[in-house]
Chains A and B, each alone.
Chain A
Amino acid sequence: MNTRSLLAKLGPFLGLLLVIGLFSLPTEVRGYFLTYANFKIILTQTVIVAIGALGMTLIIVSGGIDLSVGSAIAFTSVVGALLIQHGWPAAAVVLAVVAAGSGIGLLNGAAIAGLRMTPFIITLGTLGVVRGASKWLANNETVNYDASPINSWMTTADPFGWSLPAGSWVALVAALGTALMLRQTVFGRHIFAIGSNEATARLCGVPTVRTKVLIYVVAGGFFGLAGLMQLSRLRQGDPTVAVGLELDIIAAVIIGGASLSGGVGTVLGSMIGALIMAVLRNGSQQMGWPTYFQEIIIGVVIIAAVFLDRLRQAKAA
């Protein structure tokens, strides 16, 4: 029993090792793939999906889903670019962008909890709404600005001498905070309770409507933060960026062991899931595989991960 639960916890880790191992097999790739410089690149590439996966973990654990993340990231990056254009200081831009993300989350959460509609439908709707709004806001073109300290967050050039790009540190701190919140706060445990059995949570006096709205608001904040990272990476606000990124983020959370039916999921798992996605992309590029082949591989990995998880669950039952 104990070895099995240990194995279940290590599952995503083993997956990560397996993927790294596979790309290290061909000698001509290994030489570059297994270098510190490349891992720094992978970590940087992970940041956006990882921060998005933090928010998505909260939502999926509560039994919900959010399909509008890609649009939210584009929207918040456009907002950030416009504010920089208008000469806002970096700190104010950061706050405003996170607030914009939370605003979209508030919209989603209020519609889902208040109108009692399915998250899938609501966020499928906001996927379009928010994407359209970002194009409108950006006048249907990229928003350029001269320079901003935010640009340096996602470079591997290491301007601060922190060995990793600032974005990675932000993601790490955010992950620690989220893990702590999920485990140690009443709000965090209520997220699990709602995902596990919402009717019970309600009759036990858990404020389900308020909690659900708050889940989407907090998650929206993370999506705003991810939008900021997107902005820093592109150095411009692009309303057409991150199309389909929600699927990568959902996949990371699911590969990390969360259940789409709610009640199960960990921050650590989701972070490893995000890393697996990044390693797959990076490794495929090193191997010189065309992008269509990467897409197929990632699709297969998602299905395999969920299938293995089901086997694990069946054994545990």
Chain B
Amino acid sequence: MSPRLRLTGICKSFGATQALRGVSLEVGVGEVHALVGENGAGKSTLMNILSGALPPDAGTLELDGAPYAPRDTLDARHCGVAMIHQELSLAPHLSVWENIVLGDEPSRGGWLRRTEAKARARKALARLGHEHLDLERRAGSFPIAEQQIIEIARALRTEPSVLIMDEPTSSLAQADTERLFGVIRQLRERGVSIVYISHFLEEVERVADRYTVLKDGQSVGTGTMKGTPQSQLIRLMVGRDVTALYPPRVSSAGAIVLEVSGLSAGRRLKRAGFTLAAGEILGVAGLIGAGRTELVRAVFGLDESADGGVTLAGRSFPNRQPRGSWRNGVGFLSEDRKEEGLMLPLSVAENTVLTKLGSFGRFGWLRRRDIAAAGATWIERLGVKASGPGQPVRELSGGNQQKVALARLLEHPARIFLLDEPTRGIDVGSKAQIYELIAGLAREGRAVVLVSSYLPELFGMCHRIAVMRRGELVDCRSNADWTESSLMTAAVGAAA
């Protein structure tokens, strides 16, 4: 029996860059096939070819033994190959059913056939066990997990035989991830083949039957998931041994540098409090929407807090504003690198020195050479892959962008680091470097608040972990006193 999908010798170049150099991939019927690799390894290019968005330069694609050469994404869908993209891609103003049938609306002479369209949408949702969703409601008004269900339903409406999922859990909290895995298993039982792309090796291990590792545009390893240790995948991905992703934790002992009590802000943060000592890494866990981001934003002064107090090194710190926080040595890293964290068109150097531009001036004139020198220093110290301090940040990969964003806090230099999802969407190699950097900060006696949706990261990095639920900080214990299940229990609020 021929496999559901067979790719042989796929090549693709963009100008002088060879993104894919003879990649082969085989996926069986009803198989979940993990595609892993660092950023820039060629995963997205390969998936764009598979989903019809790009034509390959060389190589062949076969679907159920027959040649498969989609003209565009719509054609690919009609052949039975659908893709779910990393970024949620709904039209927020359109209703649920409109999103599901978008681009493929049933019509007669240009007129929409609403009843038919809704029936199709209902059917697609039913395949996911979510036929109860209100079809008329605006897609943008749903929580993120439901939005993803709508998106999967859109991919399913053509009853695809191959479903590509690109980082489907990157914006999901743990509980929603579990639900997604349930959906994946269900689809697998129906014989749908799934190509699953993820940076989260723990997830891959749980959900995938087989794997293929891509590195520098080539497939460097493929095999059965069961019995393959994570370390082997990591070795294949980075091409070297990464003995441990997380650096060893040095026990912290220091004076309290930050004390937050009864902090309330907006509708999502209710009387949260914690203390942070010098040399300590404090993790903040919780489901999406539990108020973790709101907590660090309120501490930093990005959002106005309605109630509660923040004490910095024994001094009360009311009426916080970002400008004042920076002056007091508090640095903040936004979870949204592209929208809030960085000025994408500006250079590496300009992004690095943004918080202290004044100190690079003389009589109001900027000394551009000093700015470039500062940028160059961090490029070297953090191993940023950039052509130079003058390169626009937009041109860097996600991991390198994140290093630049962190360099801003280091250059400032901050004493208290509020880091919101610092490793979201970046490759394993950069992750390891950022973990090392954060651990180094703690060793130097600086204090770190690490907000993360990724439990292994919190357990790997933090001295203490706080759990938030519905805007309240419900529990804070030392790392050793938590287990993944006790932490999740606290996060979802179930009885222990």
Contact = CB atoms under 8 A, between A and B. Distances in A.
A201 B102 CA distance: 7
B337 interface: no
Which bucket holds chain A's interface residue count?
20 to 34
B470 interface: no
Given A185-B112, A200-B102, A205 B77 contact: yes
A192 B53 contact: no
Given A184-B111, A185-B111, A189-B98, 20 more contacts: A184-B112, A185-B107, A185-B110, A186-B107, A189-B102, A189-B112, A192-B91, A192-B93, A193-B94, A193-B102, A196-B94, A197-B90, A197-B91, A199-B89, A201-B91, A203-B53, A204-B73, A205-B72, A263-B93, A264-B93
A187 B110 contact: yes
Interface string B57-84: 0000000000000001110010000000
B85 interface: yes
A263 B110 contact: no
A12 interface: no
B105 interface: yes
Interface in B99-121: 102-105, 107, 110-112
Given A189-B98, A203-B73, A197 B112 contact: no
A107 interface: no
9 contacts: A185-B107, A187-B110, A188-B112, A193-B94, A195-B93, A201-B102, A203-B73, A205-B73, A263-B92
B98 A197 contact: no
B154 interface: yes
A254 to B, nearest CB: 16
Contact of B91 (A185, A187, A200): A200
B91 A205 contact: no
A193 B91 contact: yes
A206 interface: yes
Contacts of A200: 89-91, 102
Contact of A206 (B89, B93, B103): B103
A74 to B, nearest CB: 33
A262 to B, nearest CB: 8
Contacts of A264: 93
B166 to A, nearest CB: 12
Nearest to A263: B93
Interface string A168-212: 000000000000000011111100110111011101111000000
Interface string B141-173: 000000000000010000000000000000000
Interface string A199-227: 11101111000000000000000000000
Q: Please name the 10 residue pairs, one residue from A and one from B, whose CB atoms are nearest each other, closest first.
A: A204-B103, A205-B74, A263-B93, A205-B103, A196-B91, A196-B93, A200-B89, A197-B91, A204-B102, A186-B107
Given A192-B91, A263-B91, A263-B92, A205 B104 contact: yes
A197 B105 contact: no
Contacts of A193: 91, 94, 98, 102-103
Interface string A154-171: 000000000000000000
Nearest to A259: B93
B89 A197 contact: yes
B384 to A, nearest CB: 28
Nearest to A187: B110
Nearest to A203: B73
A203 B110 CA distance: 20
Contacts of B107: 185-186
B99 to A, nearest CB: 8
Contacts of B93: 192, 195-196, 263-264
B177 to A, nearest CB: 23
A187 B107 CA distance: 10
Given A197-B90, A263-B91, A203 B111 contact: no
A203 B102 CA distance: 10
B268 to A, nearest CB: 12
Given A184-B112, A185-B110, A205-B72, A197 B92 contact: yes
Interface string B430-456: 000000000000000000000000000
A206 B154 CA distance: 14
Nearest to A265: B93
B48 to A, nearest CB: 10
Most chain A CB within 10 A, of B77, B85, B93, is at B93
A189 B94 contact: yes
